Amino acid sequence: MNSSSFLNSQQKEAVTTTQGPVLILAGAGSGKTRVIIQRIAHLIQKKMVPPQQILAVTFTNKAAEEMRERLQEILSGKHEGVHLSTFHALGVSLLRKSINHLGYLPNFIIYDKKDQFSVIKTIMEDHDFDDTGLIDAKSVHFEIGQAKSIGNDPEVFLDQQESQQKQIIGKIYRHYQKTMKGCNAIDFDDILNLTLSLYDKCPEVMDSLTERFRYIMVDEYQDTNRIQYKLLRHLTKQHRNLCVVGDDDQSIYGWRGAEVRNIFEFEEDFPEVKFIRLEQNYRSTQLILQAANQVISENTQRMPKKLWSEKQGGEKLDWLMSENEAEEMEAVTRRIRTKILQHGRRYLDFSILYRSNFQSRAVEEALREAKIPYRLVGGISFYDRQEIRDALSYLKVIYNTNDEVSLHRIINTPRRGIGKTALVQANTCCQEMHLPLFKVMVQARKYERIHKVSAFTMELFAGIINSYQQRFANEPLGEVFKELLDEVGYIRFLETQSGEPKVRKRRVMNVLELLRSVQTYSEQNPEASLQHYLERVTLFTESDSDTDDKANQVAIMTLHSAKGLEFPFVFMIGMSEGVFPNQRSIDEGREDEERRLCYVGITRAQQEVIFSMAKYRRRFGENIHQQPSRFLLDINPELLTVPIFGEATEESKKERRQESRSAFFTQFKHLEAS
């Protein structure tokens, strides 16, 4: 696609089919983002649709911003009014206007995963749930998230569960929702559930929205869950102009609620649907695509499509077999260094993909040993660092003083003489007076239960928060944030912490980087409020990472993190049974999603794919012999530089596939019944 105006015949059909429901099956590297952009431009330029009537939804802020920039290039500002956002950003914008109908205040705060853990742990401690030995905060958080992804509230969850463990989780879930509402806080799953509640409980409030958006497009449709699907049904109930773009072969997020059946069942809900397949791939060589097609064609349930490329031939897929995991990584790093020294490649041309996070340790150690620079994609987010969470907690409390998770985080950080005893005394007053903690702190000296010195300090602290509420409302965000950090002494606090000097310096630099980002945001958006900035940060996802992808470093990441990316050379390591596919997926009959993950990995490569594995891996003091991944055995040996010798016969492979098919259909029927 050298010319900016070129579209192949299938892409052109997708762009110009604008009325009624459309399902665009867009294979990996087939130019789907280009199609969405051109379709929006076609609606505005050729069909004369007002931009305000167009809604385009994707899954990351980064993708939405890229679409916005590309539309600007094509339409030179005539796209103003098109709503481009993530599902969650759309939900938040609606809730800010109408959440009062559901008993919340408009200045609600959004809790991230760590905030949620804090609430759950507090509930478990306060109600002695942690003494049962049956549950932990992580499993509770997962179960609550799973329940919310299908729209089940605590009472529905409790009605459906019989085990003692699940009953306890249901009770914690009930306390969790009550606590969150008391803090005027919601979590990510609440955003869409509450938006859906507005449609169910206050349809008249949402009528204007349904009227406004006449043309709706959804990217990465295979990643939608049932709540997002129901929301789309509401939005399109009048005009049915819904265009969804997705690829069931790249549905790899079932573990976080994504429902591939949303694609499979689209025709049932929209029988007049127009199917369009984008099968020409512009990324990879034909040989790589042949291998990818062979792997994915073994799946038990998929919508038929076959990727092809004009880049005929290409390098055969390579295969590295080593004795153990250390030697496997030595072989990988040696191959990278050889290509750089002999063929003039750059480090940023390479990526190393693995199935599970635990594999990253060996990868990082080997790259450091080989003095190969690398970047970890999808690791700890900048916004998850302790010092960043502390600094942002000040902003969250200033915005919403009912946010008690953030309030407890900063109340004595830096230390200001409000100890645990004083906090217990203040919380007792809260319970007796039925008041939030901050309101008690504002007039702490009037409560005899609270020690006088601590009460005075609480009032001083509350006074700082109140004064900055006024300042943030009337002055530039960047300037006020800098003065806030100075007044509370947070950077001085970091500089005097114990530990290694380089760690202290890094933490200070991180906070200064946060300050710089607030100042830049404020300069670029002079009318933006504290609410707008906090929403931007809270809706930030791993896929929106600011990591410099132009830096000359090898990219290492899990296969899940690799989706949407591409590299000239892709190493897929640990390609053995029990590692990939992982053993749990094998045991639970979820081979199909693992196979899709393998397909995603292969199709990240532009020029070469190199598989690797170790014959033996060390586990619990023993050397375990490993077999090649079943996915590799589906690739025609003629596509490989050397044959992959596995102990699986054609007959045993057929048996495994039949078992997988049976497990899939059992699971699919169960989903249909529910």
Nearest 5°: the CA angle 136, 141, 145 is 150
Tell me, rounded to whole angstroms, the distance of Cα 292 from its chain centroid.
Answer: 25
The pLDDT tens digits of the residues spanning 220-265 come to: 999 999 999 999 999 998 889 999 999 999 999 988 888 999 999 9
Two structure tokens written together for 652: 């045993």
Does 644 have pLDDT greater than 80?
A: no
Cα(464)–Cα(354) distance, rounded to whole angstroms?
A: 48
Of all residues in the chain, the percent with pLDDT exceeding 70 is: 92
Q: What is the C-alpha to C-alpha distance for residues 537 and 548, in angstroms, rounded to an integer?
A: 18
Residue 640: strand pairing partners: 317
Q: Give the distance from CA 473 to its chain's centroid.
A: 31
pLDDT confidence of residue 1: 39
Q: How confident is the model at residue 384 (pLDDT cuts 50, 70, 90)?
A: confident
CB burial of 250-260 (b: ≥16 within 10 Å; e: otherwise) equals bbbbeeebbbb
Q: Alpha-carbon dihedral of residues 306, 308, 313, 318, nearest 10 degrees? A: -50
pLDDT of residue 75: 87
What amino acid positions are annotated as catalytic residues?
A: 32-33, 219-220, 250, 604
- In angstroms, the CA 571 to CA 319 distance is 10
- Under a CB-based contact definition with an 8 Å cutoff, are residues 459 and 433 in contact? no
Contact by Cβ (8 Å): 410, 393: yes
Candidate from 139-148, 220-229, 404-413, 534-543 with smallest mean pLDDT: 534-543
Indicate the pairing of strand 215-218 with strand 242-246.
parallel
SS3 221: helix
What does the pLDDT read at residue 484?
96
Assign 47 a pLDDT band (cuts: 50, 70, 90).
very high
Q: What is the mean pLDDT of residues 350-374?
A: 92
**Strand-pair category, 554-558 with 350-354:** parallel
Radius of gyration for the chain, computed over Cα atoms and rounded to the nearest angstrom: 27
Local confidence band at 655 (pLDDT 50, 70, 90 cut-offs): low
**What is the identity of the amino acid at 393?**
S
What would the two tokens of residue 288 be? 């790589």
All residues at 6 or more sequence positions from 639 whose CB lies less than 8 Å from its CB, including other chains = 287, 290, 291, 294, 316, 317
d(CA 627, CA 610): 17
User: Mean pLDDT throughout 585-598?
Assistant: 91
The pLDDT mean for the chain works out to: 88
- 554 - beta bridge partners? 374
> How many residues make up the chain in this entry?
674
Among the ranges 130-134, 164-168, 602-606, which has the highest mean pLDDT value? 602-606
Across residues 459-477, what is the average pLDDT? 94
**pLDDT tens per residue across span 509-526:** 999 989 988 998 899 888
d(CA 233, CA 224): 13
Question: According to the model, what pLDDT value does residue 2 have?
Answer: 36
The highest-confidence range among 154-168, 367-381, 441-455, by mean pLDDT, is: 441-455
The rounded distance, in Å, linking the Cα atoms of 383 and 142 is: 21
Burial class (CB in 10 A: 0-12, 13-18, 19+), 65: middle
Instruction: Give me the residue label for tokens 């003091």.
Output: 621
Q: Would you state the pLDDT for residue 163?
A: 85
DSSP secondary structure, 13-77, as one string: HHHH--SS-EEEEE-TTS-HHHHHHHHHHHHHHTS---GGGEEEEES-HHHHHHHHHHHHHHHTT
What is d(CA 35, CA 38) in angstroms, rounded to the nearest whole number?
5
All residues at 6 or more sequence positions from 504 whose CB lies less than 8 Å from its CB, including other chains: 494, 495, 497
Which amino acid makes up residue 407? Answer: L
Q: List the one residue out of 36, 25, 27 whose CA is nearest residue 66.
A: 36
Q: What is the pLDDT of residues 10-32, one digit of tens each?
A: 999 999 999 999 999 999 999 99
Tell me whether strands 22-26 and 185-187 are parallel, antiparallel or unpaired.
unpaired
pTM: 0.82
Instruction: Please report the pLDDT score of residue 545 as a whole number.
Output: 55
Give burial (CB, 10 Å; 0-12/13-18/19+) of 436: middle
